Amino acid sequence: MEKKNIDWENLGFGYIKTDYRYVSDYKNGAWNEGGLIEDDKVVISECACVLQYAQTVFEGLKAYTTEDGRIVTFRPDLNAERMIQSAERLEMPVFPADRFVDAVTQTVKANAAYVPPYGSGATLYIRPYMFGSNAVIGVKPADEYQFRVFTTPVGHYFKGGVKPLTIRVCDFDRAAPHGTGHIKAGLNYAMSLHAIVDAHQKGYDENMYLDAATRKKVEETGGANFLFVTKDNTVVTPKSNSILPSITRRSLIHVAEEYLGLKVEEREVYLDEVEDFAECGLCGTAAVISPVGKIVDHGKEIFLPSGMHEMGPVTKKLYDTLTGIQMGRIEAPEGWIHVIE
């Protein structure tokens, strides 16, 4: 299969239309058979529940070309599971996990020419999503839904590649204590748009959200979980019911413990203790592990000892091991790698 003529090395995190997408419709209480189509346009009622009341959930995962030339995805079963939890929270029908993995597999296979080559630094981002498609004007869930998967080749999420980021402690909240922060709903991202535009205008790369109840504890950023490293090399990740259960973070905990022999603590992290950490990173599918060099808390600048030029040593080991597993250079734990072809 011939690859598309794309400048893989210089891709940013943007949308490039690929040839095929998967669609399945839910009507009269059942999902139809579904399949691949070429048309990228979605046609729905002007009064669709997704347009009026934001009834939509999504997922994000990537396809990689491994060192030995296979195309693989990373733990798609966990994305399927999380999408089920997201759908249930928004009163949407669940798309069965085995069908989710099959839909991802079909879509990636059909767009294999867009899967960036091994060593290019780019990957194929996969976006499964689902939305209420029929007209509702009273506030209630839709009766009809569409589940879709599209793909787009991507490079680094943050401009400047793996250069350490500067983030600010944000005055806006991302999630309420009993709200929807733990699911991947479009509404969580809509409410973060003003905060991220404001952060960028002021020269910051991302927002550090605090817990809405006490504003004393670190939650996450708009699109990634936090990972800290103490001065004695313990990996610490914030525990909270209102952050997204990142698959990357859960995988890194295993990598830290089982591959690198590091101690890991999943616990509440107070803003007050951030200045004591040696390293900080953002982890997620899009972010992979992006190092943080500086955190600004209302004028108080906290410089991580790892500096503004490179990843800290533990972050680097985690990054190399995780990406090594994803690209087939390092043996993966059972069930982590799903081979497409």
Q: Which residues bind ligand COI (CB under 6 A)?
A: 60, 223, 284-286
Q: Do the Cβ atoms of 66 and 49 come closer than 8 Å?
A: no
Q: Do the Cβ atoms of 115 and 122 come closer than 8 Å?
A: no
CB-wise, 12 or 69, nearer to ligand COI?
12
**Does 223 contact ligand PLP by CB under 6 A?**
yes
Smallest distance from ligand PLP to CB 261, Å? 23
**Does 240 contact ligand PLP by CB under 6 A?**
no
Q: How many residues bind to ligand PLP according to rule CB under 6 A?
A: 12
Question: Three-state SS for 93?
Answer: coil
DSSP 170: -
| 225, 237, 240, 306: which one binds ligand PLP (CB under 6 A) | 225
The question of whether 184 is a catalytic residue gets the answer yes
| 60, 141, 186, 324: which one binds ligand PLP (CB under 6 A) | 60
CB-wise, 155 or 284, nearer to ligand COI?
284
Smallest distance from ligand COI to CB 307, Å? 25
Smallest distance from ligand PLP to CB 283, Å? 6
CB contact set of 20 (below 8 Å; sequence gap of 6+): 36, 37, 38, 107, 110, 111
Residue nearest to ligand COI (CB): 60
For 36, other C-beta atoms within 10 Å of its C-beta total: 16
CB-wise, 200 or 263, nearer to ligand COI?
200
CB contact set of 284 (below 8 Å; sequence gap of 6+): 60, 157, 223, 224, 225, 246, 248, 249
Smallest distance from ligand COI to CB 79, Å? 9
Site string for ligand PLP, 287-316 (x = CB under 6 A): ------------------------------
How far is it, in rounded angstroms, from Cα 60 to Cα 68? 24
**Does 164 contact ligand PLP by CB under 6 A?**
no
User: 186 touches which of ligand PLP, ligand COI, none (CB within 5 to 8 A by kind)?
Assistant: none
Any bridge partners for residue 210, and if so which? 218
Smallest distance from ligand COI to CB 273, Å? 26
**Does 65 contact ligand PLP by CB under 6 A?**
no
Q: Do the Cβ atoms of 310 and 248 come closer than 8 Å?
A: no
Give Rg (Cα) of the chain.
20
How far is it, in rounded angstroms, from Cα 35 to Cα 43? 17
Q: Exactly one of 4, 27, 159, 184 is catalytic; which is it?
A: 184
Token readout for 181 is: 């922060």
Enumerate residues 5-44 that contact ligand PLP by CB under 6 A.
Answer: none
How far is it, in rounded angstroms, from Cα 308 to Cα 306? 7
How far is it, in rounded angstroms, from Cα 40 to Cα 18? 9
**Does 280 contact ligand PLP by CB under 6 A?**
no
Residues with active-site annotation: 184
